[in-house]
Structure 1
Amino acid sequence: MRLVNINYVKDGAVLARPVRNSNGQILLGAGIVLTKDYIEKLKTIGFDVLFVMDNRFEDVEINYAISDKTKEIAYSTVRGITHALEQDPNAEIDAGSVRYAVLNIVQDLLYSSDILSNLTDIIGYDEYTFHHSINTTVLALLLGIEKKYNQNQLIELGMGVLMHDIGKTKISREILNKKGKLLDEEFEQIKNHPLFGYDYIRNNHDFSLLSAHVAFQHHEQWAGGGYPRGLEETEIHEYARIASVADVYEALTSKRPYRDAMEPYLAYEYIIVKAGTQFDPDIVNLFSRAVAPYPTGIGVQLSNKMQGNVIRQNPELPSRPVVRIIADGDVSLDKPIDLDLSSPQNLSIMINKTLNW
């Protein structure tokens, strides 16, 4: 299978993986032949990428970060709590359901056999608000695992991250989904959501106070200048420093009402460049080891003009995966070639850009 931008999926392509809606229900099953009508409808809903069959990549397995069941549990939890607080700001967050959702995510990640390639499925969703919290939690927990946190620490971190934006229930949807630039007074309202979230969580004694600090501090910056308190360096709790990196990377790689999703490698580079200013350098170092800039399945062009798709990750060198070459410039190859960019003889070859084919 290959990962293809929906704008380049051809009429007659065959789905390699089911397409599910935000509730986890299957819209189109694996093996369905995609017509122009199907493709246009999926674009309208908000899907950015699809997994399609390609006999040149029939041996390539692209693993998901978490199972469909785990996603459904997490989605239902975040949606239910969000709706409850929107209807009654005094409603209590069900900490038990949050803990259960996070525990499922932790278990899925710990048992993953291919942790570098399992972020592919977080690219592009139609319901940003709920999925952002889930995807950010997956990323944060990957960093926590890389940090060698024990299970209790992972649960504390995950519960805080899953609820990190819950304070936005007190912000109007018009402001949250505004396509144009926010007015100063609108941005000031947005800047209140960490405090709102902190109050929600800390007043529930079934949450750790450290989980509450994730919501409170995830917009603080390593060199200062963040909000709501303008904290610096280790004044910011480590959980929140992890959440900050995960939050920004996920936001950049997701479609928003006012912009398209950024390519994963560009978002990856943004995080790396902001080490020491926006982000804790040690956390960025964890990020560079835990996240692949070129997800498995994505199309790439190399510096030698060869083109192909990433088929496997190299955990020791995440930026140098194995690429299956299917074209040399504009000329298709009769037989694909697998090129391991981590091999000494290939170290002069770089990935120039990603392809949407």
Structure 2
Amino acid sequence: MRLIPIECVKPNTVIGKTLYDSDGRVLVRAGMVLSERIIFKIKDLNILSIYIIDEFSSDEIEDIIKPELRQKAILTIKEAFSNINRLTVADKFSKKESVYFNNIESMAEDLIENVLNNKSVLLSLIDIRSMDNYIYSHSVNVAVISLVLGIALKLPKRQLQYLCIGALLHDVGKTFIPKEILMKEEELTDKEVTILDQHPILGYKYLSDSYNLSANSKIITLQHHERPDGLGYPNKLANDEINTLSKIVSIANAYDSLSTGRPNKRAMFPSDVLEYLMSNAGKKFDYEIVNIFCKIVIPFSKGTLVDLSNGDIAVVQETIPNFPLRPIVKILKSSRPDRVNTEINLISETSVVISNIRYEL
């Protein structure tokens, strides 16, 4: 199973992962053969990429959480975020508000148990989402990625709970940002960027009035755009001034944002996102946490078609732990016939690197 942009999908392609609409209903089930009409419908729902099954990639990629739990979590965040800024002052201190926070805390517990019970805590699946549901899907994915990273860092369960709740709520301030800015497909103006950059303060200010949430979760909302080099926002904190849980969510937030496409911006390859994180370790992101993160991500899942720097075309066979950017590959096309169908371990063949992900042979 491999991920390809929706514009590269052709009729009679077999879909590898079930697609859901913005209300969590099944749109297209895994295993269905796609017609031109269904492909058009998927495009119409602002879904930019899908997983397919073909001769190169018949193996399933397991999500780190159950698909039904992911959809339930998305709907929980959607309900909370859609109603939070409609609450009156009286509502904020009533049962109406506490219901949303209680639901989010309960969902955090479910996500933690699901991830802890998973035999593998390696990240290899990019979440498929409609752009219409982007902010809610993004919040859930950031929470899942943060949990996996928190487990790798051996955080105690109580800290994982604070981390998960804070990650689910990290973008709650965006509910107070005008929709025309959040949904704008063109590049934002300087004034619009300034307004958008207020979302950590707006979110923290909103949550600070809630006594149901731990301060450890609330601080994530305020600090998830701070940077170790002091050039982040809103308070230009540096290094140890930034809460560890906030540092984790900052990395998870960047990874999910950059590896997910937008209507006006193609997604970066997961391998390029990893290289971006590594090149900014110690500046934009915590150095030690980035190092741990790079050991738990699989940027090239089995079945991914790739171009090699020597001109060969190959398919990924296996990723070696601690060496995410140098998997074992099988050569499919080469100027040297004797190399075709041979396997190469890119850890030992140091002169060759993966130069691109391709979608057709």
Do the structures match in fold with TM over 0.5? Answer: yes
Q: After the TM superposition, which of the residue ranges 63-72 and 250-259 deviates more from structure 2?
A: 250-259
Give 2:186's match in structure 1, choosing from 180, 185, 197: 180
Matched, 1:353 2:356: yes
Give 1:341's match in structure 2, choosing from 323, 343, 346: 346
Note if contact 2:121-2:296 (Cα within 8 Å) is conserved in structure 1.
Answer: yes
Give the CA deviation at 1:323: 2.8
Give 1:120's match in structure 2, choosing from 115, 125, 145: 125
RMSD: 2.4
Give the CA deviation at 1:194: 0.8
Q: Percent identity?
A: 31
Looking at structure 1, the residues matched to 192 and 31 of structure 2 have their Cα atoms a distance apart, in angstroms, of: 46
Looking at structure 2, the residues matched to 258 and 212 of structure 1 have their Cα atoms a distance apart, in angstroms, of: 31
Give the CA deviation at 1:216: 0.6
Amino acid at match of 2:6: I
Looking at structure 2, the residues matched to 26 and 273 of structure 1 have their Cα atoms a distance apart, in angstroms, of: 39
Looking at structure 1, the residues matched to 310 and 88 of structure 2 have their Cα atoms a distance apart, in angstroms, of: 58
- Distance 1:139-1:215 versus aligned 2 partners, 3 A rule: same
1:70 paired residue number: 69
Give 2:280's match in structure 1, choosing from 274, 292, 301: 274
Give the CA deviation at 1:147: 0.6
1:52 paired residue number: 52
3-state secondary structure, aligned to 1:320:
strand
Give the CA deviation at 1:236: 0.6
Note if contact 1:252-1:261 (Cα within 8 Å) is conserved in structure 2.
Answer: yes
Note if contact 2:171-2:203 (Cα within 8 Å) is conserved in structure 1.
Answer: yes
- 5 Å-filtered alignment, 1:28-107, equals 28-58=28-58, 60-88=59-87, 90=89, 91=92, 92=97, 94-107=100-113
Q: After the TM superposition, which of the residue ranges 149-158 and 9-18 deviates more from structure 2?
A: 9-18
Looking at structure 2, the residues matched to 76 and 151 of structure 1 have their Cα atoms a distance apart, in angstroms, of: 25
- Distance 1:166-1:89 versus aligned 2 partners, 3 A rule: farther
Normalising by structure 1, we get a TM-score of 0.89
Give the CA deviation at 1:5: 2.9
Looking at structure 2, the residues matched to 264 and 18 of structure 1 have their Cα atoms a distance apart, in angstroms, of: 21
Which structure 1 segments of 5+ residues have no match? none
Note if contact 1:24-1:68 (Cα within 8 Å) is conserved in structure 2.
Answer: no
- 5 Å-filtered alignment, 1:146-161, equals 146-161=152-167
3-state secondary structure, aligned to 1:262:
coil
- Distance 1:269-1:209 versus aligned 2 partners, 3 A rule: same
Give the CA deviation at 1:265: 1.4
Looking at structure 1, the residues matched to 344 and 87 of structure 2 have their Cα atoms a distance apart, in angstroms, of: 56
Which structure 2 segments of 5+ residues have no match? none
- Distance 1:260-1:197 versus aligned 2 partners, 3 A rule: same
- Distance 1:30-1:72 versus aligned 2 partners, 3 A rule: closer
Looking at structure 2, the residues matched to 81 and 66 of structure 1 have their Cα atoms a distance apart, in angstroms, of: 21
Give the CA deviation at 1:120: 1.7
Give the CA deviation at 1:304: 3.7
3-state secondary structure, aligned to 1:290:
coil
Give the CA deviation at 1:48: 2.9
Amino acid at match of 1:122: D
Note if contact 2:229-2:284 (Cα within 8 Å) is conserved in structure 1.
Answer: yes
- Distance 1:330-1:37 versus aligned 2 partners, 3 A rule: farther
User: Once the two structures are superposed, what CA deviation does each residue of 1:67-112 show, in whole Å capped at 9, x if it has no partner?
Assistant: 1121122111110111111322644252221122222222222233
Note if contact 2:228-2:285 (Cα within 8 Å) is conserved in structure 1.
Answer: yes
- 5 Å-filtered alignment, 1:281-300, equals 281-300=287-306
- Distance 1:56-1:177 versus aligned 2 partners, 3 A rule: closer
- Distance 1:326-1:43 versus aligned 2 partners, 3 A rule: farther
Amino acid at match of 1:341: L
Looking at structure 2, the residues matched to 329 and 157 of structure 1 have their Cα atoms a distance apart, in angstroms, of: 50
Give the CA deviation at 1:317: 1.7
Equivalent residue pairs, number: 351
Note if contact 1:222-1:232 (Cα within 8 Å) is conserved in structure 2.
Answer: yes
